[in-house]
Amino acid sequence: MKNKIWLSSLAALGFAVLLIGTAAAQDQSPTPPAITDDQVNAIARQMYCPVCENTPLDVCPTQACVEWRELIRDELAQGWSEQQIKDYFVQRFGDRVLATPPARGLNWLIYVIPPIAFLAGAVLLYRAFQSFRKPAPEPSAEAEPQSASDDPYIERIEEELRKQ
């Protein structure tokens, strides 16, 4: 009888451990992966602080930027994509928060003018170097320099010198 009690107690204890283990496993919801500072800064680096002039969001020390970086962290934890986060900030603060302005409106000139200016400069330099390499044209035999005897004043001076 003592063995039966001992055996049934052991079986009840094992059953209780199994029930507690399955209940504990069901209560735990899967935790989302922790968002690192590198992930937040990768997005914040592509944006500027809407309050400070020309300060990237990832290095701006203002309290507003600290809160915006936390907002980026929360949005990443909720599963937002990088583009969705950028669109959210553009909607709130305008295109000026983006480090790379979108190619629409007059902003497309930012992408067109530098390559055109570079090519124009390269063409001008090429033509300048070509003109430096050409030898100076030889004076032609047809265009003889004006002789001194053609000038009446010089002829008169020469006459006066011969008289002496």
Question: Would you list the domain boundaries of the chain?
Answer: 37-99, 102-130
Instruction: Output the CA–CA distances (angstroms, integers) from residue 78 to 20, 74, 99, 126, 162, in the order listed.
Output: 31, 6, 24, 56, 110
CATH, domain 37-99, list 3.30.1330.10, 1.20.1260.10, 1.10.8.640, 1.20.210.10 = 1.10.8.640
Q: How far apart are CA 115 and CA 108, in angstroms?
A: 12
Tell me, yes or no, if the pTM score tops 0.85. Answer: no
DSSP conformation letters of 63-80: HHHHHHHHHHHHHHHTT-
pLDDT per position as a tens digit, 38-49 = 888 888 888 888
C-beta separation of 9 from 2 below 8 A: no
- Which pLDDT band, with edges at 50, 70 and 90, does 120 fall under? very high
pLDDT at 131: 84
Is 55 exposed, middle or buried (CB count within 10 Å of its CB: 0-12, 13-18, 19+)? middle
Return the higher-pLDDT residue of 115 and 106: 115
Q: What is the mean pLDDT of the chain?
A: 78
- Which pLDDT band, with edges at 50, 70 and 90, does 100 fall under? confident
Region 82-94: what's the mean pLDDT?
Answer: 89
Percent of the chain with pLDDT over 70: 71
